[in-house]
């Protein structure tokens, strides 16, 4: 994925601010640093990995190895709204795959992808620990339990409604 | 430690405790409303309940306190609310849906009507209303670790102090580390992470290892899909864990501790971080704790989502900034762990028992459970059981008691088929095995595993081949790739299982699965690989006929495998003027035939289950058939009539 110069610049600045004056020998800080980069940018671009590698004096490929080993890290920017489908046992037995297909159909993307307008991205997550509310979907940080295909439509609709309201609010204010 | 120091410690502690108790009493001097707002409660709408109650109190100008607490385990009834009101028995309300919370508060606090129609049970015995102990669940439940969960504010250290918290740490400071180790060893506490290694022995090994720098780590990387008890403890009573970790540090001779916690549990991370900070402010962590010579500090480390990091050497690798790949043991971490220093790694639950053992003694702990597995076990009941949630029961309770008494049996009047215990490393046990008592050894003997205590109940509609495929899919993805058999063997097994669930299985597949399973078990270094074949082996052992139906007939007996089923509308049952299914179909696959009976266009159907849910229960016209070609036969049959 190609980044614009501004995006690169921003990524470098964010990473350097996080690295700050961290002890270069303290390799135990590598993963926490990457986690902070991801929470600021939403993903970890190549240029940020190179910055981190240079700071700790390890080859960039090692950082890439860490990024791709752990499920938490993303290599591409997420959508504005992240839809995460829980794939725990309880959710699976209560039809998480049906829910996954419903989202894929509605958003017209596959799991791991972001919609054209970068509005939604779809992911699978390991158990979020709400097994009693299965099947579960996490939208941004909000957990929704007992999802059915029709509720997927409902959630999307209410989301779009909120957005329209917000836009109208903006228009009114402006 | 000198005797004069003991006096300093207890004086410092008594001061903290007195202040906390005063605050606690003040809290109970007016009506107190607790809302269970752990992640599970929030998913059910606890936060809007909280808002609703607060707004109602403000509207009525009532003087009452509203607190956000953790989860007491009755997840099936979320959102849950507890009201303390002077002169009335304390009542716990369940299923507090929108509008109900405000109504209960209004009726109770203004008119004295406690609204018992919404009550689950009373908290303490009284003359009016049954308590939790009066239900079948209460007969078996024996809460130790979960005693305070859902009754204290996890963000307020004073609540923990007022209810007896940190007194075990004081006791531990007054005795020698050797005595602590002796007590824990005598209690017979076994690691609750799944392997069941004696906790006291681990501490002793670390204490006796050479080196001045030692570490204690709490493993809160609860990665088992289907287990959520660690999350509940972390979110509902984080100080219990901190106290346990501090005692472990004192025993093992460590001055630095870590809580390795899953990043997927943001609320737990937030609450533990706050708990560590407040404990430091009160002088219960940090340099010379309570004026003693014991220094101990805790740092949080967020796990980045790798199941294998629950394995202790992989966990250490990830803390050292590497991919979480396990290494050979020995040397065990208690001898050479984090940065090569002696390190104790304990599960959240193991550590949470420690304060109670120190306070109440080894004998008391041994009085629960069995000779070889003393204490209680916490199970996360989920799946097709009526009362899902967390249950803490003594070891030796049988599976039948747990599922049918504590969990109130199978939901929707279906039949029990199997119970999956121990997550991806565990197995599926059928009806015959239900009288197995729960402890580390008998579960392993039956072909499952204690694991972390996730328990998913399966009914007649759950396909055993599919569940085996699901777990293997999980372990295959989570395999770190170090051992060839785990990396490639699980992939190969998964391919075979996928083929079977798609109806393309071959008769020799079953033997091939068995052979691969034993090779993967032998050829893997860590328990992820060693136990990965368990779900396949246990389902093959108890449900072989289901595999055979898939392979030989292309039929899924439980009507679950998508490629082997089709949806069909029974013309005799379809109510012509009802269009419920038509509206629910996301792909417009349902149409009216000439006599307005609904028909599914099989080419268009995506098998989303919506029409089956939408069809009103008095008609029940939508059915699933397997193998799918039967639909054509049925349609032809109808054409002839």
State residue B112's pLDDT score: 87
Which of chain B's residues have a Cβ under 8 Å away from the Cβ of A128?
Answer: 39, 264-265
| Residue B13 and residue B170 in contact, taking contact as beta carbons nearer than 8 Å | yes
State residue A148's pLDDT score: 86
Average pLDDT over residues B220-248: 92
- Give Cα separations from B480 to A28, A148, B115, B469, B551 (angstroms): 20, 34, 54, 19, 31
Interface test with B, best of A89, A97, A100 (most B CBs within 10 A): A89
Distance, CA of B376 to chain centre: 15
Sign of the dihedral defined by the CA atoms of residues A84, A85, A91, A94, in that order = positive
Q: CA-CA distance, B155 to B524, in Å (whole number)?
A: 42
For B244-298, how does the pLDDT look when each residue is reduced to its tens digit (9 = 90+)? 999 999 999 999 999 999 988 889 999 999 999 999 999 999 999 999 999 999 9
pLDDT tier for residue B593 given thresholds of 50, 70 and 90: confident
Tokens of B108: 């109770």
pLDDT > 60? residue B326 = yes
State residue B539's pLDDT score: 93
State residue B1's pLDDT score: 46
State residue B319's pLDDT score: 95
- How distant is the Cα of B347 from the closest Cα of chain A, in angstroms? 17
Domain topology for A81-173: Glutaredoxin (3.40.30)
Chain A contacts in chain B segment 140-179 (CB below 8 A): none
- Give Cα separations from B40 to A129, B71, B103, B265, B379 (angstroms): 7, 8, 23, 11, 15
Eight-state DSSP code of residue B552:
I
State residue B641's pLDDT score: 63
The mean pLDDT of chain B is 91
pLDDT > 70? residue A142 = yes
Which of chain B's residues have a Cβ under 8 Å away from the Cβ of A132?
Answer: 40, 75-76, 78, 382, 388-389
Average pLDDT over residues B5-33: 92
pLDDT > 70? residue B476 = yes
Query: Which DSSP string do the residues of B306-350 spell out, in sequence order?
Result: -GGGGSHHHHHHHHTTS-------SSPTTTS-GGGS-EEEEEHHH
Please indicate if any CB of chain A lies within 8 Å of the CB of B80. Answer: no
- How distant is the Cα of A37 from the closest Cα of chain B, in angstroms? 13
- The residues, ordered by sequence, that sit 6+ positions from B53 with a Cβ below 8 Å of its Cβ are B33, B35, B66, B81, B101, B102, B105
Domains, chain B, in order of start with CATH, read 31-134 (3.40.30.10), 157-365 (3.40.50.11540), 376-459 (3.10.20.600), 464-553 (1.20.1440.230), 565-640 (3.30.70.20)
For B427-474, how does the pLDDT look when each residue is reduced to its tens digit (9 = 90+)? 899 999 999 888 888 888 888 888 878 888 999 999 999 999 999 999
Please indicate if any CB of chain B lies within 8 Å of the CB of A134. Answer: yes
pLDDT tier for residue B234 given thresholds of 50, 70 and 90: very high
Radius of gyration of chain A (CA): 19
State residue B638's pLDDT score: 77
For chain A, which residues make up each domain, given as ranges?
5-69, 81-173
- How distant is the Cα of B5 from the closest Cα of chain A, in angstroms? 36
At B92, which helix (H) or strand (E)?
Answer: strand B91-93
pLDDT tier for residue B81 given thresholds of 50, 70 and 90: very high
CB contact under 8 A, A93 and B467: yes
For B50-75, how does the pLDDT look when each residue is reduced to its tens digit (9 = 90+)? 999 999 999 999 899 999 999 988 88
For B502-530, how does the pLDDT look when each residue is reduced to its tens digit (9 = 90+)? 999 999 999 999 999 999 999 999 989 99
Which residue, among B60, B25, B46, B152, has the nearest Cα to B93 in the 3D structure?
Answer: B46
CB contact under 8 A, B43 and A144: yes
pLDDT > 70? residue A2 = no
The beta-carbon neighbor of A133 closest among B40, B321, B471 is: B40
State residue B446's pLDDT score: 83
State residue A134's pLDDT score: 82
* Residues making up chain A, counted from first to last: 174
The beta-carbon neighbor of B382 closest among A132, A145, A148 is: A132
* Residues making up chain B, counted from first to last: 641
**Closest residue, chain B, to A143 (C-alpha):** B43
For A14-72, how does the pLDDT look when each residue is reduced to its tens digit (9 = 90+)? 999 999 888 888 899 999 999 999 999 988 999 999 999 999 999 999 999 999 999 88
Chain B contacts in chain A segment 73-92 (CB below 8 A): 73, 87-90, 92
For A59-118, how does the pLDDT look when each residue is reduced to its tens digit (9 = 90+)? 999 999 999 999 889 888 888 889 999 888 888 888 888 899 999 988 999 888 888 888
Which of chain B's residues have a Cβ under 8 Å away from the Cβ of A35?
Answer: 263, 302, 304
Q: Where are the alpha helices (DSSP H) in B112-176?
A: 136-140, 157-162, 167-174
Q: What are residue B588's phi and psi, to 5 degrees?
A: 55, 50
- Give Cα separations from B592 to B576, B589, B596, B631 (angstroms): 9, 10, 5, 17
State residue A173's pLDDT score: 65
More confident residue, B109 or A141: B109
Instruction: Give the number of other Cβ atoms within 10 Å of residue B205's Cβ.
Output: 17
Q: CA-CA distance, A143 to B46, in Å (whole number)?
A: 11
Please indicate if any CB of chain B lies within 8 Å of the CB of A141. Answer: yes
pLDDT tier for residue B3 given thresholds of 50, 70 and 90: very low
CB contact under 8 A, B320 and A27: yes
pLDDT > 80? residue A170 = no
State residue A1's pLDDT score: 54
pLDDT > 60? residue B538 = yes
Domain topology for A5-69: Arc Repressor Mutant, subunit A (1.10.10)
State residue B83's pLDDT score: 93
């Amino acid at each position: 994925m190609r980044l614009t110069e501004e995006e690169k610049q921003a990524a470098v600045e964010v990473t350097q601010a996080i690295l700050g004056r961290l002890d270069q020998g303290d390799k135990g800080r590598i993963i926490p640093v990457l986690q902070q980069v991801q929470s600021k940018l939403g993903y970890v671009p190549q240029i940020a990995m190179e910055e981190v590698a240079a700071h700790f004096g390890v080859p960039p490929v090692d950082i890439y190895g860490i990024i791709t080993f752990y499920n938490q890290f993303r290599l591409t920017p997420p959508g504005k709204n992240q839809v995460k489908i829980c794939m725990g046992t309880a959710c699976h037995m209560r039809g998480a795959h049906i829910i996954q297909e419903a989202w894929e159909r509605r958003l017209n993307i596959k799991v791991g992808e972001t919609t054209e307008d970068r509005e939604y991205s779809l992911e699978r997550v390991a158990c979020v620990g709400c097994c009693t509310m299965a099947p579960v979907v996490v939208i941004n940080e909000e957990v929704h339990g007992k999802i059915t295909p029709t509720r997927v439509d409902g959630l999307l609709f209410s989301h779009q409604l909120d957005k329209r309201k917000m836009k109208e609010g903006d228009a009114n204010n402006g | 430690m000198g005797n004069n120091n003991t006096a300093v410690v207890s004086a410092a502690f008594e001061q903290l405790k007195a202040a906390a108790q005063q605050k606690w009493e003040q809290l109970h001097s007016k009506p107190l409303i607790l809302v269970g707002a752990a992640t599970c409660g929030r998913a059910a709408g606890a936060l809007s309940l909280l808002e609703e109650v607060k707004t109602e109190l403000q509207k009525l100008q009532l003087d009452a306190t509203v607190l956000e607490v953790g989860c007491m385990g009755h997840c099936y009834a979320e959102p849950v609310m507890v009201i303390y009101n002077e002169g009335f028995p304390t009542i716990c309300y369940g299923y507090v849906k929108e509008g109900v919370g405000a109504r209960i508060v209004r009726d109770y606090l203004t008119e004295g009507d406690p609204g018992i129609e919404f009550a689950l049970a009373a908290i303490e015995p009284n003359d009016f209303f049954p308590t939790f102990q009066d239900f079948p669940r209460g007969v078996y439940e024996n809460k130790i670790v979960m005693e305070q969960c859902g009754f204290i504010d996890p963000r307020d250290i004073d609540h923990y102090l007022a209810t007896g918290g940190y007194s075990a740490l004081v006791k531990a400071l007054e005795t020698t580390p050797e005595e602590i180790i002796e007590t824990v060893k005598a209690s017979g506490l076994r690691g609750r992470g799944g392997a069941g290694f004696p906790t006291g022995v681990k501490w002793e090994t670390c204490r006796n290892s050479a080196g001045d720098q030692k570490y204690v780590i709490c493993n809160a990387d609860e990665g088992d899909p289907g287990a959520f008890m660690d999350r509940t403890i972390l979110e509902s009573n984080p100080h219990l864990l901190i106290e346990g970790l501090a005692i472990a540090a004192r025993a093992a001779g460590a001055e630095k501790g870590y809580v390795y916690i899953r990043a997927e549990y943001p609320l737990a991370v937030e609450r533990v971080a706050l708990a560590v900070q407040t404990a430091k402010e009160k002088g219960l962590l940090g340099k010379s704790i309570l004026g003693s010579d014991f220094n101990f500090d805790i740092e949080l480390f967020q796990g980045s989502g790798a199941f294998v990091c629950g394995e202790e050497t992989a966990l250490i690798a990830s803390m050292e900034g590497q991919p979480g790949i396990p290494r050979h043991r020995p040397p065990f971490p208690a001898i050479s762990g984090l940065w090569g220093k002696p390190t104790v790694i304990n599960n959240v639950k193991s550590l949470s028992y420690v304060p109670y053992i120190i306070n109440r003694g080894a004998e008391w702990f041994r009085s629960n459970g069995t000779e070889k597995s003393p204490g209680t076990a916490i199970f996360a009941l989920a799946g097709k059981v009526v009362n899902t949630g967390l249950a803490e029961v003594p070891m030796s309770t049988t599976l039948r008691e747990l599922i049918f008494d504590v969990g109130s049996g199978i939901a929707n009047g279906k039949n029990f088929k199997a119970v999956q215990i121990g997550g991806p490393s565990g197995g599926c046990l059928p009806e015959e095995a239900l009288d197995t008592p729960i402890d580390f050894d008998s579960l392993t003997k039956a072909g499952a595993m204690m694991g972390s205590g996730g328990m998913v109940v399966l009914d007649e509609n759950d396909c055993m081949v599919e569940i085996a495929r699901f777990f293997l899919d999980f372990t295959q993805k989570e395999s770190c790739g170090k051992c060839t058999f785990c990396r490639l063997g699980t992939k190969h097994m998964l391919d075979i299982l996928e083929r079977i669930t798609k109806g393309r299985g071959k008769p020799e597949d079953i033997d091939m699965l068995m052979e691969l399973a034993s090779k993967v078990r032998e050829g893997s270094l860590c328990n992820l690989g060693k136990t990965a074949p368990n779900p396949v082996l246990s389902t093959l052992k108890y449900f072989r006929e289901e595999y055979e139906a898939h392979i030989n007939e292309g039929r899924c007996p439980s009507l679950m495998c998508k490629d082997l089923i089709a949806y069909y509308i029974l013309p005799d049952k379809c109510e012509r003027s009802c269009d419920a299914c038509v509206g629910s179909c996301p792909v417009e696959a349902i149409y009216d035939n000439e006599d307005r009976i609904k028909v599914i266009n099989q080419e268009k159907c995506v098998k989303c289950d919506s029409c089956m849910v939408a069809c009103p229960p008095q008609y029940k016209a939508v059915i699933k058939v397997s193998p799918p070609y039967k639909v054509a036969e049925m349609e032809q049959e109808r054409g002839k009539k």
